[in-house]
Amino acid sequence: MRTFHGGILASFGKIVAALFVRESEGLEQEPSCSSMTFDYLRPAFAGITLAVPKIVRASKRFIVVSVDIFLDETIVSIGRFIYKR
């Protein structure tokens, strides 16, 4: 049974979110994550994994990013990350 461990999915989501914030906000360094929440919706078996990030809110002090992780067009987990500016 070839499945992805939840830690791999969370790490993948965190990297995608940090790079997305860095690119969209024009930062030179990767921002530091102050909080993260991950919801695992179903097992992630071996296959093509895709992460879709979006900024939920960008304020003066914090940026909230949501990352949906899909496996073969089926959502397997949702991560929410809070970054300090």
Domain definitions of the chain by residue range:
6-84
**In the 8-state DSSP scheme, what is residue 26?**
T
Structure tokens at 81: 């990350």
CA–CA gap between residue 85 and residue 78 (Å, rounded): 22
For the stretch 17-44, pLDDT in tens is 999 999 998 888 888 889 999 999 888 8
Tally DSSP H helices, then E strands, for the chain: 1, 4
Contact assessment for residue 20 and residue 13, using Cβ atoms and an 8 Å cutoff? no
Please, what is the average pLDDT of the chain?
Answer: 90
pLDDT band at 78 (very low <50, low <70, confident <90, very high): very high
Q: Is the pLDDT of residue 13 over 90?
A: yes
pLDDT of residue 12: 92
The domain covering 6-84 belongs, at the CATH homologous superfamily level, to Hotdog Thioesterase (3.10.129.10)
What's this model's pTM, rounded to 2 decimal places? 0.86
